[in-house]
Amino acid sequence: MTSPLAVVTGGSRGIGRAFVLEAIKRGHRVVFSFRSRDADAAETVKMAAALGGEAVSVKGDLERFEDVDAVIDAVREQGQVSLLVNNAGIGEEFTLEQLTREGWERSIAINLTAPTFLAKAFKSDLIAQRGAILNVSSDGGVAGSLHGAPYGATKAGIIGLTKTLARELAPHVRVNAIAPGPVATEMWYAIDPAVQEQVMEREMPLKRIAQPEDIARAGLDIASWPDASGIVVLLDGGRIM
């Protein structure tokens, strides 16, 4: 019997890479997408192989509809999907004053449209496999974001998407979300260091930044819980509570 197939978007680095490796450890074959960093994607493939698993990378810019379709086609070549992890996201920072229509559309496309249409594409696979979707939101989608309107709105939007699909795809497919606080990846380190320090000092009771592996382990646990659907797990070091 072949191993179940997992799809992870944004698996070249950061939290997505940790999802790929955790899925491999749990016995999945993985197809992951990435945008542009070939060397990072190759490193993820290598790390998966070192664990004795198989990860296939697919390059595609999820901002572009035709690339979303190309990723879907590449996944279909690998078999039927039983787990979809909508992880890829951008956290571009905008005040309302700085916000442009392009910036807004880009976040909507990557953070919200791509996850929706990937779920649509793999719906029948997931139903047939009694599979699961895990969407990666953010504490900023729950309590408002430091990054500004596109990030805060799309990360809240993906929570609405999670609950809607949890209803629509029940009883066959479970759909859940994880909402991390600060995680040690390039996205977090791109934030002004003074702001990072302030957040850690004033907002983080545990005074700890999560590691990508912490989020991946928790996320795949959630995706495996037979009674969980439509839930959003905040994993934010007590930031919001």
| Residues taking part in catalysis | 151
Tokens 């990666």 appear where?
Answer: 136
> What phi-psi label fits residue 31: left (phi over 0), alpha (psi between -120 and 50 degrees) or beta?
beta
Q: CB nearer to ligand NAP: give 112 or 129.
A: 112
CB of 171 to ligand NAP, least distance (A): 28
CB of 53 to ligand NAP, least distance (A): 18
Q: Which residues bind ligand NAP (CB under 6 A)?
A: 10-16, 33-37, 40, 61-63, 87-91, 110, 136, 138, 180, 182-183, 185-188
Q: How far is CA 78 from the centre of its chain?
A: 20
Give which of 60, 57, 66, 78 is closest to 12, Cα–Cα: 57
Name every residue whose Cβ is closer than 8 Å to that of residue 144 and which is 6 or more positions away in sequence. Answer: 152
CB of 164 to ligand NAP, least distance (A): 18
The rounded distance, in Å, linking the Cα atoms of 19 and 50 is 15
Q: CB nearer to ligand NAP: give 4 or 180.
A: 180
Long-range contacts of 156-160 (CB under 8 A, 24+ apart): 157/111, 157/112, 158/86, 158/111, 158/112, 158/115, 159/135, 159/232
Q: CB nearer to ligand NAP: give 35 or 208.
A: 35
CB of 114 to ligand NAP, least distance (A): 7
Cα dihedral value 212, 139, 201, 211, nearest 10? -10
